[in-house]
Chains A and B, each alone.
Chain A
Amino acid sequence: MEELYAHGKITHEAKEYALDVLYPADKWGVWTSRLLLAIGSALVLCGIVYFFAFNWAKITPLVKLSSLQIGMVACLIGAYLYSLKRMSGQILLLSASVLTGVFMAVFGQIYQTGADAYQLFMMWSLLTLGWTLISNFAPQWIFWLAITNTFLVLWWDQGVLPERDMEYMIYTYLAVLNGGALALREYFVTDKAKEWLQPRWIRVLLTIAVLLPMLIPIVVWVVEPSRVTPSITTSAIIGLVGHGLMYAFYRYRMQDMWSLAAIALSVCIIVEAAGLKMLAEMFDSVEFFMFLLMGGMTLGIFTVAVIYLRKLIDVFEVDHV
């Protein structure tokens, strides 16, 4: 606009009008009010979680359970009245989902259902799945994924009690769960009716959530080959394939610098781990020399990554022109 105006193509009024349409004056107000709404709700919910985690002996079970249910019902009525099309309604539904978990935690305290929390997270995930499906609200999905990830980790640890050989399979499960979520997001994001999937932070967050469980088994595989079990090998191979798939997707299908940067960082960590392992074995006795080489190697790896990413930016810009 400024350029058009500077070249005398449009009048001053036209410039002002166009800028007002592009960046409405009240935009920052809407943004601030949404931010405050989100932060405020998060803080209130944290307060409630910590209050009940204390397990007050003097509050009778009936009061605890009914006050939480009144809170849930109030949130749900609010969500109905505001409607799920508005952010206030969606946040109220998310609050009801959080309170469901608090209710089950308190239920567990009162009836001593055992400290193995995986059942709590399992029920929490199941009971809130329906609300999540209809919410059309990205934070609700992220919340549900967080609970479900927690359930899988706790269940693996407390419920399945895997043999040493199988311990690392959990990373495959987590990568598949989060990878599925990311794939669904990328599949539906082009759908005009699903505008709520648009924000970029969803992709970045999910990319990290997929990369982490793929990265950890690979690093273990590289650093401690002597302790490798079948599950580490499986998870590491799946992780490597996953890295390749994600790279191919964000390089050629949906070009996205943020995701590529995250993948590049992940690959840097893997190469770094492999390099450290090799140097540590080669220069076992001359430590000072080893650390010197490590420094140089680190600089080298990250320089290559940055040069590559900068090159990609140029390629993408050419593509877009």
Chain B
Amino acid sequence: MRSHIMIILSVFVLSALNYGVYEKQKIKDHGEAVLLELAPVDPRSLMQGDYMRLRYAIERASPVAELQSHQERGYMVIQPDENNVAQFVRFHGDVQLKGGEKLLHFNRKRGLQIIPDSFMFQEGHAKYYEDAKYGVFKFDGKGNHLLVGLANEDRKTIEVTEPPK
């Protein structure tokens, strides 16, 4: 009896995990890439290794005062400029999105903040990401986004290349 319950639970757990992967992978494969400029700001996460704390320029550029003081989370509307770098347009309200505009989720726990506020990489690879200037995001049509990499000043995604030994 317990074994059968275990199998049912296992199927549930594995499907939940794989559905999570499927959802993220869909955005990664088919999402639209937009760059978010990083604000100049390195620690270690439990079980996940090295990462870099990220702050985004758009967090500072947005007029936080326009928001109600009690509003803890919401969406802002962003528009990629000619370099595909996202610019703040307005906080999302009743106004419909125009062509090219995208929604970006934020919360306001420690000032206005965009999640993820971290980028994880292999231990010791911090040197490759030191000069990162942009976060490369993929957006789906429904307001979900995924950070897929960091980009340098020329807006090229940083690829880690092992130095020749």
Residues of A within 8 A of B (CB): 49, 52-57, 65, 69, 72-73, 76, 79-80, 83-84, 93, 96, 100-105, 107-117, 120, 127-128, 130-131, 134, 136, 154, 161
Contacts and interface: CB of A to CB of B under 8 A. Distances in A.
B6 to A, nearest CB: 6
A77 B49 CA distance: 30
A55 B48 contact: yes
A112 B120 contact: yes
Contacts of A114: 115-118
B117 A115 contact: yes
The binding surface of chain B is classed by DSSP as mixed
B9 A131 contact: yes
B132 interface: no
Contacts of A161: 109-110
A207 to B, nearest CB: 26
Nearest to A150: B46
Given A103-B17, A108-B48, A93 B28 contact: no
Contacts, number: 112
A57 B43 CA distance: 18
B136 to A, nearest CB: 10
Contact of A105 (B14, B48, B160): B48
Contacts of B10: 72-73, 76, 96, 131
B118 A115 contact: yes
Interface core residue of A107, A108, A112, A116 (most chain B CB under 10 Å): A112
Nearest 7 pairs between A and B by C-beta? A114-B116, A115-B118, A130-B9, A112-B147, A111-B24, A115-B45, A55-B49
Contacts of A115: 43, 45, 48, 51, 53, 116-118, 120
16 contacts: A52-B47, A54-B122, A55-B121, A57-B121, A57-B160, A73-B10, A84-B3, A93-B6, A110-B24, A111-B24, A112-B116, A116-B115, A116-B117, A127-B13, A134-B6, A161-B110
